[in-house]
Chain A
Amino acid sequence: MTDVHTPRESASGETEATRPFGENETEPDVSGSGATAGWPRWAWRQLTSMRTALVLLFLLALGSVPGSVLPQQGSDPVAVQQYFASHPGLAPWLNRLGLFNVFAAPWFAAIYLLLFTSLVGCVVPRTLRLAGSARTPPPRAPRNLLRLPHSASYASALAPSAAVDAAAAVLGGQRFRLRRPGAGDATFWVSAEKGYLREVGNLLFHLALLGVLVSIAVGGLFGYKADKLLVEGQQFYNNTTALDEFHPGRLVSGSDLAPFRLTLNSFSASYFTTGESRGQPETFHAYVTYSPSLGAPARPYDLQVNHPLSVDSTKVYLIGHGYAPVFKVTNARGQVSYQQATPFIPANTGTMTSDGVVKAPDASLGFIGVFVPTGIMVGGTLESVFPAPDAPAVSLVGYSGNLGMNSGVPQSVFQLDTTGMTKISGSPHLLLPGQTWKLPGGRGSIAFTGYKQWVSLAITYDPGQVPALICGILALVGLLLSFLVRRRRIFVRAVPSGTGSVVTVGGLARTDASGGFEDEFASLAAELAVGGAAGGPASDSREPSNQSETGA
């Protein structure tokens, strides 16, 4: 919120002139003994005071810190598990405090909800007051305008009332709101006020922030996020069975998903081959075909990072990629038990050394493998030196026995449970494309027949996204208005002097944000003087408060 000041009693006539601009901004005395007002009212005033807003803002910043230095469940659950493993004593306590999921934690929500309650409790009355002040005229002109921070005077050939009328015409032409003396007032003056947009901007900014919060909530309730890993050649329909991960909002059900179909025709990645950035990715292209609904014609799309596909207000993003070596496993009886392009997960995104498992439960065989797109042997370990598949190779550690997959307890497809299995001798075994490892003991064989690439896609639907953006832009507009628009008042008084009059002009401005009122006042006074006809500018103008204006 902008400045809140208590009006200060000073020399006569000035109190009203300096009455806060357009609204009552008195910060209530919340530390006193307001026993008569009652606890609820006192508590409400506490909540909506600037001090509370300050404390809550600080708490908001402070509360966000653990969310950025501790691993968070929402973005990196593996890191959370690792933290538990490396800090067995501390981690459960941190977990109880919700520090592994800070931004979804109830205490964090409590902070920003209280902050927004305080905001609403402050903004709504101020909005009403602003609306009311649109009906309140500017204050009366003080008697001695020369005591104001900016003042000037000039002689005018016109009679006082005509001089004041001329001044009023100039001010009115500059869209100032005017006030004239009432019936019982025999003096000649006009008051002008301008700059209500500042408060409008201020309120707009704060209300827009509220709008952002509401938009986020709407998105969280009605939207969803999903992931899908697709190997080249595969297709899927957007339903909950096909999606690998599905995180729906509270009010989302499976039938709300846009029923599009997407096929990954091919994926190509290019890397820099020379120079300092050798190995750095240059481009990624996922060539897909999609169809928005059953029966609709299929359309091609070149899906890239920073170029998502938009289907039916659902967006599909290219998030990651990797290699899926193709394995063929035969069992002890020579029957083919497994044949699949098996996605391996890159452990090092620079070199694309990837880890994966092959689970062939119906051959009682399992393999833990490392795939390298461009491989060399370094001291017995297979390592990759370049992310493109120039010399693919795979190294496998074999296990035979019961994989434990019939027990009904779900297992990750990327992990092999080797309890109850025996390691096959000859592990690790290196295979180049086309090679087969005949397992000892007649247990079967595994062939590395080739490789494909896979992409990981993020599919999101967020109905609150566009409203959040609009509110964000409105907040920015409000912010700029509240910083750039100055609230100022101009007073003009004329007293008879000979055949004409002497006109004094006084100016008052909230000068904190942008300076420059002195320039505006100077040119305005000059304009008024010219409009006041013959005699021109004369006598002194005084700027006693210049130190605050000029230098800073």
Chain B
Amino acid sequence: MSVNQALAQVSGDFLIAALVIYSLAVLAFAGDFAFGRPSRAAAGSARDTAEAAARVAELTAVGAAAAGAATGDGGAATGDGGAAVAGGADGAIPPGGAAPAAGLPSRRQSAFRAIWEAGPWVRAAVTLSAIGVVAHLVAVVTRGFAVHRAPWGNMYEFVTALTCVAAIFFGYVVVRYRAWALGVFVMGAVVVALGLAETVIYTAAGPLVPALQSYWLSIHVTAMTLATGIFFVAAVLGIMYLVAERYRARVAAGKAPDGNGLLARIPSSAQLDKLTYRTVVFGFPIWTFGVIAGAIWADQAWGRYWGWDPVETWAFITWVLYACYLHARATAGWRGRRAHYIQLLGFVSLTFNMLVVQIFITGMHSYAGVH
């Protein structure tokens, strides 16, 4: 079957539309950052106290290693953990009356109400992002129909699809954790990636070479696309964690005023740490599944399930580095910053695999289609 050029054109147009809409959304997120509701800034100090108490409670309750907490998250343990009741009651019997804590507000209200109440910038940003995601999805789906197969057969399609996954996943994070403060960074990264896709690595819609004509394309590459999109978000969160952590350390050392400036608006480093961890935990099994599916497909196509082809090797290195991160989080002295360096190194390895190894290092995996 030949390529449906009309649909391919539609796909390209919708992708450009998505790019433009995302850019506007990033501007709106930035606007919220700069000019958003002052109540969030004021709540900064309350958040920190609550957080410190929370950390103490967690420490005593589940027996965190003192060493790990001290080096990783810092923060003096004040007061008696169990007795310190800060606000943010949630879901117990009956719902507590305390006000929602700042930083990442509580889940008590419905998501849409919370977004509505967060101010015009957030409303605009979330709405624009949602519209952008719809346009993005249309672009991906029409590309699939145009080429009569799963639309991730070359680098351009892969980046388009994974940024769509990242945007949707981020949408889920915004709704579940009220994390629109992260919008500027995550959606900003999506815009940059899509911009690269449109310019540097664009490939016209076309059929697949025989080696890629297999139902495993839908399984292996889909899993890798999903996992990459999720690790993309985790990487952005990790960078934000490092920024937040440095800020927190400076505040603790008295070098920077508390509750001041842009940095006070992003969630605390402890929350970012947890969110990043949960994101990686979500992505890691998918990446594992993708590698296994890739091995099964390699056996079908090339006669061996693992041959240390450069792309296979770097997928393995990426897997090991994320496994390193998960181990580091459980090792005293390696939690906090060091673990995040490892996680970011894992994402660097993933990106290197995608952009450098697949294109420049010849191997059996050179299906990027980039000339």
Contacts and interface: CB of A to CB of B under 8 A. Distances in A.
Taking the complex as a whole, does A directly touch B, i.e. does some CB pair lie under 8 Å apart? Answer: yes
Contacts of A317: 301-303
A322 to B, nearest CB: 15
B218 interface: no
A61 to B, nearest CB: 4
B148 to A, nearest CB: 13
Interface in B268-319: 270-275, 277-278, 281, 284-285, 288-289, 292, 295-297, 299-310, 313-314, 316-317
A508 B61 contact: yes
Given A8-B60, A544-B57, A54 B316 contact: no
A495 B79 CA distance: 28
B91 A547 contact: no
B207 A54 contact: no
A476 B96 contact: no
Nearest to B216: A306
A512 B96 contact: no
Interface string A459-474: 0101001001100110
Nearest to A66: B313
Contacts of B83: 147, 544
A104 to B, nearest CB: 9
Given A1-B330, A468-B305, A541-B93, A61 B278 contact: no
Nearest to B177: A551
> What is the size category of the interface that chain A forms with chain B?
35 or more
B355 interface: no
Given A548-B54, A552-B275, A152 B93 contact: yes
Nearest to A540: B96
A149 interface: yes
Interface stretch (A271-279, A398-406, A408-416, A447-455): A271-279
A208 to B, nearest CB: 11
A513 B278 contact: yes
Interface of A: 1-8, 10-11, 14, 18-20, 27, 50-51, 53-54, 57-58, 60-61, 64-65, 67-69, 72, 74-75, 102-103, 144, 146-150, 152, 154, 216, 225, 272, 275-277, 280-284, 304-308, 315, 317, 319, 458, 460, 462, 465, 468-469, 472-473, 475-476, 479-480, 483, 508-515, 518-519, 521-522, 525-526, 529, 537, 540-552
Interface of B: 2-3, 47, 50-51, 53-55, 57-66, 68, 80-86, 88-94, 96, 101, 103-107, 177-178, 204, 206-207, 209-211, 213-214, 216, 267, 270-275, 277-278, 281, 284-285, 288-289, 292, 295-297, 299-310, 313-314, 316-317, 320-321, 323-324, 327-334, 342, 349, 357, 361, 363
Given A69-B310, A546-B89, 18 more contacts: A1-B330, A18-B60, A54-B327, A54-B328, A61-B349, A64-B314, A64-B316, A144-B82, A276-B204, A307-B300, A462-B304, A513-B281, A521-B91, A544-B57, A550-B88, A551-B267, A552-B272, A552-B275
